[in-house]
């Protein structure tokens, strides 16, 4: 195993990274996925772990999530230096700073009503409204997958400027060009991340754009299942990262 560089870290495969920027997905990466978005359990030690990582790496610690920025901050007690929410549609680049959205389109109410009507046919399915889109969750009713996908596709067809994203037991309608890869690029262009090596960790197909962006910038992208097995494994590694 390589020797840990000053201010750096050792990856699970033994490689040494100097001056990392830690860019972390939330659900399925730092915390276990729950039956519904509101049912997640935050390990009591997680906010303090993130604060220790900030102190260790000069604040270069961010969360990149499909959840709204405000929801991430509430769950983690504002422990991350920066948060990119809604797959990059919203960005808070510093503690207490404003949440910035770059003039993205908003789904019309008729489209949201259509989504709610379809979801209402499947008890246990959920509609998650976001500032610039909507997510249809079917984790508790897998048999609803096809119907919810059809509803999401119909919304995309009726709403120019939006596209469909397949997530973990979720269909999400989001503005075109919004993905976690762009969130990685935006964060890495600003202090305290600029000039550091991006290390992104995620668990889902929605994280692959971020992994590709981190690698393209000379950094590293890791999938939970391949490198850590579970969110508990991620947290254990971060204790020494």
| Active site (catalytic) residues | 25
Residues pairing with 213 in the sheet:
none
Cα(57)–Cα(68) distance, integer angstroms:
25
Q: Encoding tokens for residue 9?
A: 């870290």
Indicate if the alpha-carbon torsion angle 71, 75, 78, 79 is positive or negative.
negative
How many angstroms separate the Cα of 84 from the Cα of each of 101, 142, 171?
10, 29, 20
Does residue 158 contact residue 134 with C-beta atoms inside 8 Å? no
Count Cβ atoms below 10 Å from residue 196 Cβ, excluding itself: 21
Pairing of strands 61-64, 170-175: unpaired
Does residue 99 contact residue 108 with C-beta atoms inside 8 Å? no
Burial class (CB in 10 A: 0-12, 13-18, 19+), 218: exposed
């Amino acid at each position: 195993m390589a020797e840990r560089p000053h201010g750096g870290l050792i990856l699970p495969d033994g490689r040494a990274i100097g001056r990392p920027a830690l860019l972390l997905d939330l659900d399925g990466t730092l915390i276990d996925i729950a039956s519904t978005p509101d049912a997640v359990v935050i390990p009591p030690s997680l906010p303090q772990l993130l604060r220790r990582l900030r102190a260790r790496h000069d604040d270069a610690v961010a969360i990149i999530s499909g959840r709204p920025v405000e929801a991430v901050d509430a769950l983690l007690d504002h422990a991350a230096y920066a948060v990119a929410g809604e797959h990059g549609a919203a960005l808070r680049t510093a503690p207490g700073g404003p949440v910035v959205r770059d003039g993205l389109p908003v789904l019309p109410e008729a489209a949201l009503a259509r989504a709610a009507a379809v979801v209402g046919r499947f008890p246990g399915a959920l509609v998650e409204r976001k500032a610039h889109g909507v997510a249809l969750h079917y984790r508790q009713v897998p048999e609803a997958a096809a119907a919810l996908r059809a509803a999401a596709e119909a919304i995309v067809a009726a709403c120019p400027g939006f596209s469909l994203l397949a997530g973990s037991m979720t269909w999400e309608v989001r503005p075109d060009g919004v993905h976690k890869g762009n969130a990685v690029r935006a964060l890495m262009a600003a202090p305290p991340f600029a000039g550091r090596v991006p290390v992104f960790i995620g668990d889902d197909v929605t994280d692959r754009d971020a992994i590709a962006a981190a690698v393209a910038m000379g950094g590293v992208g890791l999938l939970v299942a391949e490198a850590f097995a579970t969110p508990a494994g991620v947290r254990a590694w971060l204790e020494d990262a």
